[in-house]
Structure 1
Amino acid sequence: EPDFATVAITGRGNYSPVEIRDILIEVEQRVLPIEGIKDIVLNFGSNGAVAEVPNDTIGNLQLEFLEYRDRLKADEIFAQIRQATANIPGVGIELVGSEEGPPTGKDISLRIMSDTYEELLPAVERVRNFVEFELGNTIDVEDSSPLPGIEWQIKIDREKAGRFGIGVRELSPYIQLVTSGVEIGTYRPDDATDEVEIRVRLPQNERTFAALDSLNVATSDGLVPVANFIERKPVFEVSRLNRWDGKYYMSVRANVIGDDPETGEPVLAQTKVDQLRDWTLAQEWPEDVSFVWAGADEQTQETNAFMMQAGLGALFLMFLILLTQFNSFYQVFVTLSTVVMSTAGVLLGMLITGQPFSAIMTGIGIVSLAGVVVNNSIVLIDTYNRLRRDNVDPVVAMLMTAAQRTRPVILTTVTTIFGLLPMALGISINFFDRVIELGAPSGAWWISLSTALVSGLAFSTLLTLVLVPVLITAPYVWKQQIKGIWQWITHRVPAIGRLFGAGKSAQSAPGDAAGETGAVIPISESDKGARGTQQAAE
């Protein structure tokens, strides 16, 4: 929630300073009655803006809002400002809130690049028209193409001038007389340290093309009109050229607004970015025209890549540490599987609460969970290994482990979750002012992070208490079952036992035919006594 904002006032035309002042004052008078604004500062141009503003900005209003608890949300104030300034002719209004985090710009930011400037302009115009009129749910659409304007290019015919024994050096002063003037010297006043240029040019009312054409230049053949040696051509004015990786580029930017008519939920910026990306891929463009996504989408992709690398690095370090402690690849695999469980819990929590996936805060939560949720698995497996070193049966050892460690695991998880719940619910407690705030801007930072921790920790703990005991004892149980089935087969089919040298052992130890598994294996009447004696001993 921003505390400051800028009302960028845009207009295209040859406005005088007085006209710009009147326009800014009119906009200011319409914004002043809106509640929730503490201070307003009027600026000419883009001076004082809290964020990047369009190229055609003629002035701006810098706003400072009241305290969050004493006003409406910034989006609602923005809507009132748009409504109050909607019917000012020839003026555009764009609202920009201050960005408390890394600057990302508008929701949609597409950089269009090309090797040739002539092919770039049509592509930019085509993309802007689609974003503004066809994409839907967009506002504050702008592009970085040059503002409309005309400049005159004057080309000197060197060949024709050479016939009269003159060149660019002799013709340039005549052109400068109707433009910036001819420098004839410098002068430094006694009370100054810098020199002042002395320029000569025609009076203001005579600085026209007609005056330029009427000037005559002295040649070896006499006076000749300057117009005989120059050619004037009007071209579009280019105020500046932007290059990226050696190519010309321009940007198309827009904000996303409105609700989805099917779900009633606010339209996500990523949804519109994906639609625009699909549209650009489906269109035919010149070969040297390319598209690069910038702004929030670019930072999201970079953050996701960094979080992926950080997560993999953390898992690798945990793998090495656990392998040195457990000395078992399988137990390390079971331990690290809780990270996958926690990630599934985070996504489930985001789905239940309806929160969008934050690349930074939710990503940090997932990486943090990787080091937290494995603790429960480590406690269970460490206790199980200690009991196994005392020659306790694997199944019995796991049952004893669950009986001893379930309560500590649950208590640790519950206390952690309850400690994070205030942040997950957006509750801020100010002990100095004795105030409890719900949904305050200071607490909004941590909602995504705490929600990820709460949902991931709860979900992974429940699965850990069920799946880890099952996965740890599963190899032993499967081994015993397979061994029992094999002994039963060799007992029933002696030829197979003799073939593998197991027939004798199968006949001499019929009491062990079923092993230590819980499988139901038929045995003969003569073996029941031995089986009963063995079970009593156990």
Structure 2
Amino acid sequence: MKLVNTSVKRPVGVIMIVLAILALGFVSVRSLVIDLFPKIDLPIAVVATTYNDAAPQEVENLVSRPIESSVSSVEGIETVQSQSQAGSSLVMMMFKNGTDLDQALLDVREKIDQVKGMLPEGAGDPSVLRFSPDQLPVIWVGLTGKDPAALTQIADEQLVPFFERQGGVASVTVEGGKEREIQLILDQAKLQQYGVSPQMLVQALNSSNKSASAGSVEKGNQDLQIRVTGEFESIDAIKQTFVQTEKGAKIHVEDVAEVKDTFKESSTSTLVNGKPSVVLSVMKKTDSNTVEVADNVRAGMDEIQDKLPPGVNLDVIIDTSEFIKLSISSVVQNILLGGIISILVLLLFLKSVRATIVIGISIPIAIISTFTLMYFTGETLNVLTLGGLALGLGMMVDSSIVILENIYSYRQRGYSLFEAATKGASELAPAVIASTTTTLVVFLPIVYVEGIASDLFTPLALAVSFSLIASLVVAVTLVPMLSSKLLSKAMEDNGRRYWFDRFMNRVNNGYRNVLKWVLKHRKTTVIGTAAAIAASLALIPFIGAEFIPSSDQGQVQIQVEAPAGSSLEYTEGIVEQVNEKLTTYEADIETNYVSIGGGGFGAMGGNANQATYTMQLIPSSEREKTTTDIVQEMNDDIQTIAGAEFTVSVMDGGMGMGDPVQIQLNGPEHQVLRELADRVVAQISEVDGVYNPESSAAAGVPQQTISIDEEKAAMYGLTQQQITSQIQLQFTGQVATQYREEGHEMNVTLMYPEDERSTISDLQTMTIQSQTGTAIPLETVATFKEVQGPVTLQRENQQPQMNVTSEVVDRDLAGVVEDIEAILADMNLPEGYSYNIGGQAEDMAESFSDLALALVFSIFLVYAVMAVQFENFLFPLIIMFAMPATVIGVLLGLFVTGLPLSIPAFIGVIMLAGIVVNNSIVLVDYINILRRKGIDRYEAILEAGPSRLRPILMTTLTTILGMVPLALALGEGAETQQPLAVTIIFGLTISSIFTLLLIPVVYTLFDDLTGKITRRKKKESA
């Protein structure tokens, strides 16, 4: 080949090109974005709308339904879901894969604009957002100290602006802070004494707290703007505001109300490691590097800590970059270990440091070249792309080994260094190109797979492909050039008997004898192979299946739910009991963050009866138990606490894959769905492997409903709106105006004393002021009733829905889902009600279906590539017989290691379709070369087999042993690639054995068949 000859003749040019590639690669790797996983493209849009303090039923009917109807006609929408809860509506649209989300969002906004005017008065403007896992914070920082008010001020004034200036930071959100408020505590007796209503106070405060422009006047050559200033300049100014009574008297605000400079009544509290804290969550910009942003924030913390008051400290609560760093470090460690093992294998076979260097040099060049290609294709440096490099490590040297072995054989026959390099490389270059191409083409169909499987493993496929292309170029250019310059002494036989040579001679002789036996017993060999494949298929029921293996990130979540309607103080009491239980696990817990009454880690909101713990455990290498084990122990301990319900679970670290099992119940009535959901939870709890089954039907919130008798109200000159506003004023307060101080704006709120707005009696006996000034008890014009109201109402595709979710522990997902489906099939659902399985189980089924189709196309492409290479349809068919035996290795490997079939394992099967034929290509190609030289078929096979055994063993062992560190799941985050490595190791090992024995037998069978057909045609033509 011209490329080989040119590279050997122009060594300086080749070396300069290699150096340029290495320099470019080092620049690229510094610029690559580092993340845990590739970016997952979820085509989801969200419409969020507020609606005052409306009940969930009103929110559903007046807000969620109109929005659902309007957006359902947007092109590309697959599913529309809505959640209606007190005061807010959330409508989520899931689009088909491949939908242009930017255009879809424009269409959604257009539809929302059309329906906006139909929404009820009091509903906020709908916000249309793009949902992405990138929107989760990258780091949570806790600010601790003695004074919560001071902490809030420090967070708002110093820390938020400071952190938002750090590189890559998009925004910083403060949770658990105290919001300053000027409260006017009304005195009912004095209001009645002076004949003043709260509305008169509001009017007086508003009119006194205004500044306005009043034109301009001339002063010499200048025009002076006239500005009337009247804003409150101090708290005293609020106290001294004049209020005119109905009788014309003037009083001050402080005569009828106590003016307090205080903080808003808080419905939430946050604790970090048991201490009251303010928590800052830091979001990164879309294209920013997670690790870099977290490092910038940490560096900023060190810088600003000295500027904080004494006793105020900043601590990292959760840093998502820590696991990324550990995972990347583990994969790099596995790459280095695999590389060392591969080099040792080469050294063992080649008996020469120089020869080992010639081949080993292809590894760093291929890796650095891959980084360059990854940079220009926009890929990130993550666990899966680096895992692809680790998996491709052993394969990187395959082409170089085959080329060098052939150069060595020519050198032994007496050819000069130049001739041996050119002839040896040129002769097997076509076979090497074919074998590499077969490995590459198996990845093409993966590009067309949709969903999470594609998002996660297309980057892995690209990483492997880039590394193999680079290693192929090195094999046909750099290896022949270096062989012609460096290996004069390495290729000389000094006559010494090397122990490994003696061992290889025995292996060769043994293989030759076995080869003779299988060629004499061809039917037995074929039947034995078929029997072994059939026997391996019997292992399938014992293997099971799951979606994607979870990594032990050491993040634990505990959700506490006290009875609906519980006060914040009651929930805090439950939290204290949980804290006592958690002291047992202090050695394993790094940070412990609890949000009481808030939404917690990454959530959008909460209630006073809820608390959410987010705990970061120490790295898995530093603890004896897995996160799952610790979670199960915690669950057993915490469930003994009375007075609340607890859910202890492992967090997925933001992968966004949903619950393992999600049963979606659909039907016309919410109440019936609630009852069905409870039945489903009770029944699936008995299934082995089901853990923490939950219904989305939360317990109803106790509500005190007030029905106003409009006829009685009219007798007193009152309307329903007037009565409602007075009730709201007494029990929630009313913002009268704003007060500005040193650039900060705060509410001035009218409210009644707490002891007048706490009990049902306070509600029933409260007085309502009529237009004439008459005071009447509320119970005169209203009736009261206590009911249970729903917390959240869910709908999917404009039909009520209820979800039952569950985690899976100590069992494979497919087996659990199979048992659950059997239970659901036996349940007699009412007419009009149905169920379907969603969550990871649904994603797994869809991904397996897509990947199975990709596997079929991959096998066809492998055959097509070989047909083009051999210019023959028969030889590729012979080579393809190496594939069926792969099934034995794959199933045996998963069974022995106890791993279920998963997406990574399936990707491994697809990769094997391209890898296992490589050895067969080299073997069949060499048999054909010998036969073209006039050697008899039987002798050609007996010579080609043993002579190709050495390079086949070298390529197979470097590939297999290079993946051993990944298969052992050494280090953090290696669990994701483990099934992939195990599948390839066992599949390639077993298929290599069958390649060396079965392929020669199949070759002779097909050759005999071809001979018979040819002789028959000759007789017919004669």
TM-score of the alignment, normalized to the shorter chain, above 0.5: yes
Could you list the per-position Cα deviations for residues 283-315 of structure 1 after superposition, in whole angstroms to 9, with x for gaps in the alignment? 222343332323331332243234334433433
Partner residue, 1:64: 617
Displacement of 1:378 in angstroms is: 1.4
Query: Closer, same or farther in 2 for the Cα pair 1:348/1:486, shift >3 Å?
Result: same
Does 2:843 correspond to 1:299? yes
Aligned partner (choices 451, 475, 488) of residue 982 of structure 2: 451
Is 1:343 the counterpart of 2:894? The answer is no
Provide Cα deviations, 1:313-336, integer angstroms capped at 9, x if missing partner: 433432332221223333333333
Per-residue CA shift, 1:391-423, capped at 9, x if unaligned? 655455444432432332233213322222333
Provide closer, same or farther for how the CA distance between residues 235 and 101 of structure 1 changes in structure 2, counting only shifts above 3 A. Answer: closer
Matches of 2:761 and 2:650 in 1, distance apart?
45
Matched-pair contact (CA < 8 Å) for 1:36–1:77 = no
Counterpart residue number, 2:1004: 473
Looking at structure 2, the residues matched to 276 and 152 of structure 1 have their Cα atoms a distance apart, in angstroms, of: 40
CA contact (8 A) 1:157 1:229 kept: yes
What SS does structure 2 have at the residue aligned with 1:174? helix
* Equivalence for 2:407: none
Q: Deviations over 1:219-271 (max 9, x none)?
A: 9xxx99998997776554123322333333222122344xxxxxxxx433432
In the other structure, the counterpart of 1:149 is 701
Q: What's 1:109 paired with?
A: 662
Change (3 A) 1:197 1:227: same
Mark the runs of 5 or more structure 2 residues left unpaired by the alignment. Answer: 1-551
Give the aligned partner of residue 687 of structure 2: 135
Structure 2 partner of 1:527: none
Matches within 5 A, 1:219-258: 235-257=787-809
Conservation of the 8 A alpha-carbon contact between 1:424 and 1:451 = yes
Q: 2:679, 2:991 → 1: CA distance?
A: 49
Q: Is the 8 A contact 2:764 2:779 kept in 1?
A: no
| Aligned partners of 1:110 and 1:251 also within 8 Å | yes
Question: Is residue 2:730 matched to residue 1:187?
Answer: no
Rounded to whole Å, the distance in 1 between the matches of 2:612 and 2:1010 is 79
Partners of 1:450 and 1:118 in 2: CA distance = 49
Corresponding residue of 1:419 = 962
Out of 713, 717, 721, the position equivalent to 1:172 is 721
Amino acid at match of 1:171: Q
Pair 335,286 (structure 1): closer, same or farther in 2 beyond 3 Å: farther
1:300 corresponds to which letter in structure 2?
M
TM-score, scaled relative to structure 2: 0.40
Shift of 1:457: 0.2
1:346/1:366 contact within 8 Å kept: yes
AA aligned opposite 2:886:
S
Matched, 1:441 2:972: yes
Q: Which amino acid aligns with 2:576?
A: I
What's 2:211 paired with? none
The equivalent position to 1:4 in structure 2, one of 541, 555, 558, is: 555
Note the C-alpha offset of 1:373: 0.9
Structure 1 position 88 matched with structure 2 position 619 = no
Name the amino acid aligned to 2:888: A
Alignment partners' CA distance in 1, 2:997 and 2:645 = 61
**Contact persistence 2:554–2:617 (CA under 8 A):** yes
User: Contact 2:561 / 2:644 at 8 angstroms: preserved in 1?
Assistant: yes
- Post-superposition offset of 1:137: 4.8
Is 1:126 equivalent to 2:679 in the alignment? yes
Would you say the 8 A contact 2:600–2:612 is kept in 1? no
Residues 207 and 333 (structure 1 numbering): CA distance in 2 closer, same or farther, change over 3 Å? farther
Task: Report the 3-state secondary structure (helix = DSSP H, G, I; strand = E; otherwise coil) of the residue aligned with 1:382.
Answer: helix
Decide which of 310, 313, 325 is 2:869's aligned counterpart.
325
CA distance in 2 between counterparts of 1:53 and 1:408 reads: 62
- Any idea what SS the aligned residue of 1:127 has? helix
* CA distance in 2 between partners of 1:364 and 1:83 (Å): 38
Give the alignment's Cα RMSD to 1 decimal: 4.3
Match of 1:340, SS state, is coil
Alignment deviations for residues 93-146 of structure 1 (CA, whole Å, 9 cap, x no partner): 3322232572445443322233442432222122112123x3355432321113
Distance in 2, matches of 1:165 and 1:384, equals: 108
Matches within 5 A, 1:10-89: 10-34=561-585, 36-45=587-596, 47-49=599-601, 57-60=610-613, 62-65=615-618, 68-89=621-642
Q: Structure 1 residue 452: deviation in Å?
A: 0.8
Distance 1:172 1:226, change over 3 A: farther
Distance, in Å, in 1 between the alignment partners of 2:553 and 2:834 is 35
1:368 aligns with 2:911: yes
Cα distance in 2, alignment partners of residues 30 and 269 from structure 1: 31
Quickly say closer, same or farther: Cα 1:119–1:334, change in 2 above 3 A. Answer: farther
Aligned partners of 1:25 and 1:368: how far apart in 2? 53
Query: What secondary structure does 1:415 align onto?
Result: helix
Residues 23-59 of structure 1 show CA distances to partners (whole Å, capped at 9, x for unaligned) of 2122212211335324343423355448999996324
Rounded to whole Å, the distance in 2 between the matches of 1:482 and 1:229 is 104
The 5 Å alignment of 1:274-293 reads: 274-293=818-837
Q: Is the 8 A contact 1:424 1:446 kept in 2?
A: yes
- Tell me the percent identity: 21
The residue aligned with 2:70 is: none
If the length of structure 1 is used for normalisation, what is the TM-score? 0.71
1:355 is aligned, of 876, 882, 899, to 899
Which protein, 1 or 2, shows the higher relative CO under an 8 Å CA cutoff with sep ≥ 6?
Answer: 2
Letter in 1 for 2:790: V
Query: Partner of 2:247 in structure 1?
Result: none
Q: Relative to 1, partners in 2 of residues 1:343 and 1:235: Cα closer, same or farther, differing over 3 Å?
A: farther
Would the alpha carbon gap of residues 377 and 146 (structure 1) be closer, same or farther in structure 2, given more than 3 Å must change?
same
Give, in angstroms, the shift of residue 151 of structure 1.
3.1
SS state at 1:32 partner = helix
Moved more, 276-285 or 34-43: 34-43
Distance in 1 (alpha carbons) for counterparts of 2:786 and 2:696: 22
* TM-superposed deviation, 1:441: 3.3
1:386 maps to a residue whose letter is I
Asked whether the 8 Å contact 2:879–2:917 carries over to 1, the reply is yes
Report if the CA contact (8 A) 1:114-1:288 is conserved: yes
CA distance in 2, matches of 1:415, 1:323: 27
1:380 aligns with 2:923: yes
Contact 2:664 2:836 in 1 (8 A): yes
1:2–1:195 Cα change, 3 Å = closer
State the secondary structure of the residue aligned to 2:719: helix
Q: Which amino acid aligns with 1:187?
A: T
Q: Are the counterparts in 2 of residues 50 and 97 from structure 1 also a CA contact under 8 Å? A: no
Mapped partners of 1:501, 1:321: distance in 2: 34
Change (3 A) 1:81 1:403: closer
Whichever of the two has the greater Rg, that structure is 1
Is the 1:38–1:66 contact (alpha carbons within 8 Å) kept by the matching residues of 2?
Answer: no
Q: Which runs of 5+ in 1 are unaligned?
A: 258-265, 429-439, 488-499, 506-538
Give the SS at the match of 2:963: helix
The question of whether the paired residues in 1 share the 8 Å contact of 2:556 and 2:615 is answered with yes
Give 3-state SS (helix, strand or coil) of 2:700's partner: coil
Relative distance call for 1:271 and 1:64 in structure 2 (3 A) is: same
Q: Say whether the 8 Å CA contact 2:670–2:793 is kept in structure 1.
A: no
Give 1:16 deviation, angstroms: 2.8
Query: For the Cα contact (< 8 Å) 2:659–2:806, is it kept in 1?
Result: yes
CA distance in 2, matches of 1:125, 1:482: 70
